[in-house]
C-alpha cells in the first residue's frame, strides 16, 4: 500500500517555478490518464450489464446508477476540495491532522443524511433490497471521498489517479461477478459500494495516525464556510456546462436535431475533463502560494490547459465529414454542422472549470459567483437567440458565444485579482 501512495516529491513542494510547472504537468497527466481509463471501464461495465440483467432489472439499475452518480458529484464537490485547499494552506502537522479528522466526520454526517434521502427516493422505483443497497453505497461514497481530498491536498497525484482506477476496477469486477450469480439490480449496485469501500479503507490506512485528537470550533466553522463556497462555485460550473444540453431537451426541436447535438457533446466535452485534471493539481498549489507566486501558478495552469486542449478542439472541429459518419449514424445529419461549435464550446467550458479554481484556491467565492451568475444569464440569452435565428445550428453558435463571454468575464476578473496579489 505504501508503494501506491508515495510521499510528495520535492517538485511538488518547491518554490522553483520550473519545478512547479513540471509537477503541474505530471500530476495533470496522471489524472487525465486515469479519467480516460475510468471512462472506458464505466462504459464497458454498463454495456456488459445490458447483456447480464433482465430488461426490467437493468431499468432499475440505470435509474439507481443516476442517483449514485449525482451523490458522487455532490460528495466530491465540497468537503474533499476544501480539505485539499486547507491542507495546502496549513504547514502545521497538528492542523493537518485536525482538518483530516474534521473532513472525515463531515463526510460521514453528509453520508448519513444523503443515504436517508436516497433511500426514500429510491423506494419509488426499486424493491426494498435495491433501495437499501443504494443507501449503503451512498454512505460509503461520501465517507470515502475524504481519501481523494487528502491525497490532493498532499499533492500525491499519482496515488490519487491510482485509487480512482482501483475503485472502478473493483466495482466492475465485483459487479459482473454478482450480476452473473444473481441477475438482480441490487448486485451491480452493491459493487459501487465495494469500490468505495476500498478507497475508504486505503484512506484509513494512509491517515491512520491523524484519526484521533481534538477539533476546534473555529476550524469547524472555517471548513464549513469554505465547503459551502466551493459547492456553490462547483454547482454553477456544472450549471454552465449543462445549460445547452437542458435547453436542447426542452426546446421544440426535431428529434434528429436534438440527437445530433447530444451526440456531438459526447466527445466535445473532453476538454472539460482535461480542465478538471489540471484544476485538481493547481488547487493546492494556488492555495499554498505566496502573494507573489499565485499569479505565475495561475498562468502556468491556464497555459498547460491551452497546450493540451486547444489542439484537441481544433482537430475535432476540423474532422472531415466522412470520418464523422464513420463514428456516428448518418441519421444524425446535423452533426457535421454542429460539431465545430460544440468543440469550441467544450474548450470554453474546460476553461471555466480551470479559471474558477483560482477563486477556490484563494477562498474568493463571492466574486466568482457574481461573475458566473452574470455569465449564466448571458449564456441563456445567447442560446435562445441562436435557436430562434437558425434552429439547432444557431443554438450551437449561441451556446459557444455565451460560454465564451463567460470565459472573458471570469478571465478578466481573475487576471485582475492575480495582478493585485503580486
- DSSP characters over 168-232: HHHHHHHHHHHHHHH--SHHHHHHHHHHHHHHHHHHHHHTGGGSSS---HHHHHHHHHHHHHHHH
User: Looking at residue 11, what is its pLDDT?
Assistant: 40
Mean pLDDT, range 25-46, rounded to an integer? 86
C-alpha angle 411/417/418, rounded to 5°? 85
Mean pLDDT, range 69-76, rounded to an integer? 79
Report the C-alpha gap between 206 and 316 in whole angstroms: 41
User: Looking at residue 290, what is its pLDDT?
Assistant: 65
Report the C-alpha gap between 380 and 79 in whole angstroms: 30
Which position has the grid cell 448486485? 187
Tens of pLDDT, residue by residue over 187-206, are 888 899 999 999 999 999 99
Confidence of residue 219 (pLDDT cuts 50, 70, 90): low
Average pLDDT, the chain: 84
Q: Are 388 and 368 in contact (CB under 8 A)?
A: no
| pLDDT at residue 345 greater than cutoff 90 | yes
Mean pLDDT, range 8-33, rounded to an integer? 72
User: Looking at residue 10, what is its pLDDT?
Assistant: 38
Confidence of residue 407 (pLDDT cuts 50, 70, 90): very high
The model's pTM: 0.77
- CA torsion through residues 47, 36, 66, 202, sign: positive
Mean pLDDT, range 384-401, rounded to an integer? 93
Confidence of residue 420 (pLDDT cuts 50, 70, 90): low
| pLDDT at residue 144 greater than cutoff 90 | yes
Tens of pLDDT, residue by residue over 159-194, are 999 999 999 999 999 999 988 888 887 888 889 999
Nearest to 36 by CA among 26, 24, 47, 28: 28
Amino acid at each position: 500500500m505504501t508503494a501506491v501512495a508515495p510521499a510528495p516529491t520535492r517538485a511538488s513542494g518547491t518554490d522553483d517555478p520550473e519545478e512547479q510547472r513540471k509537477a503541474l504537468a505530471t500530476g495533470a497527466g496522471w489524472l487525465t490518464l486515469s479519467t480516460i481509463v475510468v471512462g472506458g471501464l464505466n462504459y464497458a461495465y454498463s454495456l456488459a450489464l445490458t447483456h447480464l440483467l433482465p430488461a426490467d432489472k437493468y431499468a432499475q439499475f440505470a435509474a439507481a446508477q443516476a442517483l449514485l452518480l449525482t451523490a458522487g458529484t455532490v460528495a466530491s464537490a465540497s468537503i474533499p476540495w476544501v480539505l485539499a485547499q486547507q491542507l495546502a494552506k496549513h504547514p502545521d502537522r497538528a492542523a493537518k491532522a485536525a482538518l483530516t479528522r474534521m473532513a472525515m466526520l463531515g463526510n460521514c454526517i453528509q453520508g448519513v443524511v444523503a443515504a436517508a434521502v436516497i433511500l426514500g427516493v429510491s423506494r419509488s422505483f426499486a424493491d426494498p433490497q435495491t433501495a437499501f443497497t443504494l443507501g449503503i453505497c451512498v454512505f460509503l461514497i461520501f465517507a470515502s471521498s475524504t481519501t481523494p481530498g487528502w491525497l490532493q491536498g498532499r499533492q500525491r497525484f499519482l496515488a490519487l489517479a491510482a485509487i480512482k482506477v482501483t475503485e472502478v476496477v473493483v466495482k466492475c469486477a465485483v459487479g459482473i461477478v454478482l450480476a452473473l450469480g444473481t441477475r438482480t439490480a441490487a448486485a451491480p449496485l452493491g459493487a459501487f459500494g465495494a469500490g468505495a469501500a476500498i478507497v475508504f479503507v486505503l484512506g484509513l490506512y494512509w491517515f491512520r495516525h491523524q484519526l484521533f485528537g481534538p477539533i476546534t470550533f473555529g476550524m469547524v466553522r472555517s471548513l464549513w464556510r469554505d465547503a459551502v463556497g466551493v459547492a456553490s462555485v462547483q454547482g454553477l460550473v456544472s450549471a454552465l456546462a449543462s445549460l445547452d444540453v437542458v435547453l436542447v431537451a426542452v426546446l421544440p426541436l426535431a428529434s434528429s436535431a436534438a440527437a445530433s447535438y447530444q451526440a456531438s457533446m459526447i466527445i466535445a466535452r473532453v476538454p472539460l475533463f482535461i480542465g478538471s485534471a489540471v484544476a485538481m493539481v493547481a488547487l493546492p498549489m494556488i492555495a499554498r502560494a505566496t502573494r507573489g507566486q499565485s499569479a505565475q501558478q495561475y498562468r502556468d495552469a491556464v497555459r498547460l490547459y491551452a497546450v493540451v486542449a486547444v489542439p484537441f478542439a481544433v482537430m475535432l472541429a476540423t474532422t472531415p465529414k466522412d470520418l464523422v459518419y464513420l463514428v456516428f449514424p448518418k441519421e444524425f445529419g446535423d452533426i457535421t454542422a454542429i460539431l465545430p461549435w460544440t468543440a469550441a464550446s467544450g474548450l470554453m467550458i474546460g476553461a471555466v472549470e480551470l479559471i474558477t479554481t483560482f477563486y477556490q484556491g484563494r477562498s474568493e467565492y463571492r466574486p466568482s459567483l457574481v461573475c458566473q451568475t452574470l455569465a449564466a444569464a448571458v449564456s441563456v440569452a445567447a442560446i435562445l437567440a441562436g435557436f430562434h435565428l437558425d434552429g439547432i445550428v444557431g443554438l450551437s453558435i449561441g451556446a459557444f458565444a455565451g460560454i465564451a463571454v463567460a470565459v472573458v468575464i471570469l478571465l478578466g476578473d481573475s487576471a485582475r485579482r492575480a495582478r493585485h496579489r503580486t
